[in-house]
Amino acid sequence: MKLPVLLCGLAALTRASPAHPIRASQLDQQLQKRQSTDTTYKAYTIDQPIDHFPHESRYAPHTNATFKQRYFFDSSYYKPGGPVFLYIGGETSGESRFSNLETGIIQILMEATNGLGIILENRYYGESYPFDTSSTDELRFLTTEQTIADNEYFAKHATFPGLNTTSAINAPSTPWILYGGSLAGAQTAFTLKTYNSLFAGGIGSSATTQALLTYPQWYTPIIKYGPSDCISRLIDIVAKIDSVIATGDEDAIKTVKDVFGLGSLESLGDFAMTIAFPIGGPMNYPTNTWQELNWYPAYSAGEDFYHFCSNVTNDDAPESVKSVDTQLANYTDGEAWVGLGGYTDYVKKVLLPLCTTGRLNSTDIGCFGTQNETFYADVTNSGSRSYLYSTCSEQGAYQVAPPNPHTPSLVLHTLQIPYTQQWCTWAFPDGTYNTLPSTPDLYEYNKYGGFNIQAPKLALIDGNVDVWLDLCYHSELAPSPRVGPLQYLIAGGGHHWDSWGIKNVSAEPDYIREAHLWEIRTVKRWIADHAE
Ligand SMILES: *[C@@H]1O[C@H](CO)[C@@H](O)[C@H](O)[C@H]1NC(C)=O
Ligand SMILES: *[C@@H]1O[C@H](CO)[C@@H](O)[C@H](O)[C@H]1NC(C)=O
Ligand SMILES: *[C@@H]1O[C@H](CO)[C@@H](O)[C@H](O)[C@H]1NC(C)=O
Ligand SMILES: *[C@@H]1O[C@H](CO)[C@@H](O)[C@H](O)[C@H]1NC(C)=O
Ligand SMILES: *[C@@H]1O[C@H](CO)[C@@H](O)[C@H](O)[C@H]1NC(C)=O
Ligand SMILES: *[C@@H]1O[C@H](CO)[C@@H](O)[C@H](O)[C@H]1NC(C)=O
Ligand SMILES: *[C@@H]1O[C@H](CO)[C@@H](O)[C@H](O)[C@H]1NC(C)=O
């Protein structure tokens, strides 16, 4: 989802979905540098009201001010009378969504219908900030309902300078179709639900329409579909570390941390997060994981995950690596920790060098400490901060281990609610007008229907190997049977995989091609219905 989402600089560079950034990394900085120079599309702005709800007390004190919300459009396929496709920006900058207009789903739909494609940047992301800083008070307008109200206002009032058209092409006189992936997919669904008559249709892809406080299920598809020997070794190592932690023996715990080269990480949570990075840590990770895999090799940023696993499963590793497997055997009645050598070797060679200052326990860029209130309290505008705010205020989905200490897990059981909640508390102290609840107010997100959301002209498309699947329509956690909306489950599909394309649908692998053909048919039916 939303929830998604990472320090996912690299992911975005390689066109994967931005995961869930909470801390700036070097990769983020590289990405921002590239983005600020990416002028493929010109940025336009609309004067968007900051407060769409002047009568709701949660937004007091109210304001009539507007902010400059950015949008980008592509008219290369457009013919007068064609439909409009609005790509919902979600938790990142508009620039990092350009590929959707160039080669992705919007390109596919524009080509099929002579449509116009637009990217609308989410409030509080990219350069669409209502305020110069993001204090707790200033963030009070970053809510799901304000965000989707932007979509309504935009569809009614947007202009397209230079476009070859005889009259304004706003909704509903022109058919407008929304598309969003992940968190933006959920926002698409919520927009269709709330402002149904304005739009011709909407596709929510891997739309995380359900908010849950904790989301241990993020790891479920990795456990199910990852290389099974890698997965079973990781689960076994995690259980062994958990058993050492459970003894409370500080020397033993320190010895385990030292084997990973992480002895200076004071917080057990930080240690747990860091060794989870190759799989995916809570809300952030510096390298690519299962989530960043892609059906098209050139877009796939997932090789990191497989490299990690092949280190853990490498039975031909040098003796210096393999001998680590027995180094902690005295804590487990002589039983070896099979794969530990490969695991720790990977952490030392791939992760530790990212912390260039060498202060592993600090919040320096690329380092692994998070126990720093000053760092989180910094009110400088950033996508990471905005995403953390939404997580803490309405979205939840804290990536924790299963609550039962005996349930097999890829991450240490020490990762529970307080570890993430602590960041919320540090980052968003009480303001004068706005105070965060002690845990996210999930009602504000779930009031649109959660797993059971439905609305006319809403289509939901998911992938069954997606880490966010269990917050989407096709979740294993959803009540069944359900009377659903239009829906499609891509067998073998990952996180909004339909959003990528190669400018030739018939050359795609069949499971993606068929999903795209279904989306084209669905959209054409909506356009025909809209004309009636
Ligand atoms: C916003 O404008 C309306 C209409 O002019 C006015 O009644 C209201 O007091 C204004 N609100 C604020 C916060 O200035
Ligand atoms: C505008 O659209 C019309 C109708 O499709 C077309 O004939 C004309 O050439 C277009 N003009 C420009 C400047 O693209
Ligand atoms: C690690 O950082 C925390 C928080 O800044 C600090 O309290 C602790 O003393 C540090 N530990 C080490 C070993 O540097
Ligand atoms: C271990 O990981 C590194 C870094 O990704 C990779 O280059 C190497 O090929 C992996 N080793 C094995 C045996 O797969
Ligand atoms: C187990 O082995 C480690 C590393 O060789 C050593 O530091 C530790 O003291 C040993 N612990 C016990 C309980 O024997
Ligand atoms: C804590 O954060 C502040 C502000 O970002 C930074 O200057 C300081 O170096 C950090 N300290 C540690 C130990 O990470
Ligand atoms: C699209 O792919 C199909 C199937 O591979 C191929 O036959 C066709 O030539 C391609 N079209 C274009 C425009 O490249």
pLDDT digits (tens, 9 = 90+) for 317-340: 999 999 999 999 999 999 999 999
State whether 200 and 233 are in the same domain.
no
pLDDT at position 18? 35
State whether 77 and 202 are in the same domain.
yes
Q: At 254, which helix (H) or strand (E)?
A: helix 250-259
**Ligand 3 pocket test: which of 266, 359, 375 has the largest number of ligand atoms within 8 Å of its C-beta?**
266
Ligand nearest to the CA of 163: 2
Judge whether 10 lies within some domain. no
Assess whether 466 carries a catalytic annotation: yes
Judge whether 220 lies within some domain. no
**Ligand 7 pocket test: which of 505, 506, 508 has the largest number of ligand atoms within 8 Å of its C-beta?**
506
pLDDT at position 197? 98
State whether 193 and 91 are in the same domain.
yes
The pairing of strands 176-181 and 84-88 is parallel
pLDDT at position 20? 36
Cβ neighbours around 425 below 10 Å, total: 14
Judge whether 437 lies within some domain. no
> Which residues have C-beta within 8 Å of that of residue 56, sequence separation ≥ 6?
none
Judge whether 434 lies within some domain. no
pLDDT at position 4? 32
Task: Tell me which residues of the chain have a pLDDT lower than 50.
Answer: 1-30
Six-digit token string for 449: 């229907």
Domain end position, chosen among 412, 427, 442: 427
Do residues 98 and 70 make contact, with C-beta atoms less than 8 angstroms apart? no
Judge whether 322 lies within some domain. yes
Ligand nearest to the CA of 502: 7
> Which residues have C-beta within 8 Å of that of residue 35, sequence separation ≥ 6?
93, 95, 96
* CA–CA distance, 379 with 371 (Å, rounded to integer): 17
3-state secondary structure of 514: helix
Q: Is the CB of 330 under 6 A from ligand 5?
A: yes
pLDDT at position 24? 42
Domain end position, chosen among 427, 460, 492: 427
pLDDT at position 79? 95
State whether 58 and 104 are in the same domain.
yes
Q: Which of 516, 496, 513 is nearest to 90 (CA)?
A: 496
pLDDT at position 42? 97
State whether 115 and 247 are in the same domain.
no
Give 181-229 pLDDT, tens digit per residue: 999 999 999 999 999 999 999 999 999 999 999 999 999 999 999 999 9
Q: Is the CB of 58 under 6 A from ligand 2?
A: no
Domain end position, chosen among 359, 393, 427: 427
State whether 190 and 236 are in the same domain.
no
pLDDT at position 153? 98
State whether 411 and 349 are in the same domain.
yes
pLDDT at position 485? 75
pLDDT at position 479? 87
Domain that holds residue 303: 27-34+227-427
pLDDT at position 36? 60
Q: Is the CB of 220 under 6 A from ligand 5?
A: no
State whether 487 and 353 are in the same domain.
no
- How many domains does the chain contain in total? 2
Question: Which of 137, 236, 466, 498 is an active site residue?
Answer: 466
pLDDT at position 12? 30
Q: Give 342: exposed, middle or buried? Use CB within 10 Å, 0-12, 13-18, 19+.
A: buried
pLDDT at position 300? 87
State whether 257 and 142 are in the same domain.
no
State whether 337 and 468 are in the same domain.
no
State whether 325 and 397 are in the same domain.
yes
Name the packing angle between helices 183-194 and 144-157 (round to 10°).
Answer: 70
Instruction: Return the CATH number at 126.
Output: 3.40.50.1820
State whether 466 and 401 are in the same domain.
no
Q: Is the peptide bond before 481 cis (omega within 30 degrees of 0)?
A: yes
